[in-house]
Amino acid sequence: MGRVRARKENAGGARQSWKVKTHAMWKRVETLMTTMALTLALVAVAAATGKFATKAEFLGAVAGKSLTTTTKSGKPFNAVYEAGGSGIFTLGSNKAAAFKWTFKGDTLCSVFKTMNFTECNKVEIAGPTVVRFIDAKSGRLNNTYSVH
C-alpha cells in the first residue's frame, strides 16, 4: 500500500509542476499583452493630443544629425535628414545612398529611390536623443531612432 501512495503523490506532484509551468507561462503572456496595450495607448494619446512634430520641430530635433536604428530584419539603418529636403542613408553594409523627404502638416514622407520605397510617418520627439516614426495610415509604431 505504501508504494501505491507514493505513486499517487508523484503523479500529483507532476500535475502540480505542470500547473505551475502553465501559470508562469500565462503570467508572461499577460505581461507581454499589457506592454503591447500600453505602447498602443501611448501612440493613441500622441495622436489624440496632436503631439506629433511639425516640420520646424522635426528639423530642430534632427537636422544634420544621425538617426540610427535596427530594422525588423536585424540590419543596422542610419539616416541623416538635411534641412533642404534631402538626406543620406545606409542600410546594413550597403553603400550610402541619397533620399528625399517632404513634410506636410504633421506627416513626414521619405522617398528612398534606390530601394523603390516610400514611407510616410507621424514623428514623435520623445526626448533629445529619441525620435519615433509612427505609420501615418495605420498609427502603428514603425521605428524608434536614436539621435546623435
Residue 81: strand pairing partners: 87
The reported pTM is 0.65
Given a cut of 50, is residue 120 above it in pLDDT? yes
Q: How far apart are CA 81 and CA 62, in angstroms?
A: 7
| Domain coordinates in residue numbering, the chain | 1-49, 55-147
Q: How far apart are CA 12 and CA 18, in angstroms?
A: 10
Fold of 55-147: Lipocalin (2.40.128)
Given a cut of 90, is residue 77 above it in pLDDT? yes
Average pLDDT over residues 79-97: 96
Q: What are phi and psi of 133, to 5 degrees?
A: -105, 120
pLDDT exceeding 90 applies to what percent of the chain? 64
Output the nine-digit C-alpha cell for 145.
Answer: 531612432
pLDDT in tens, 36-76: 555 554 544 444 445 899 999 999 999 999 999 999 899 99
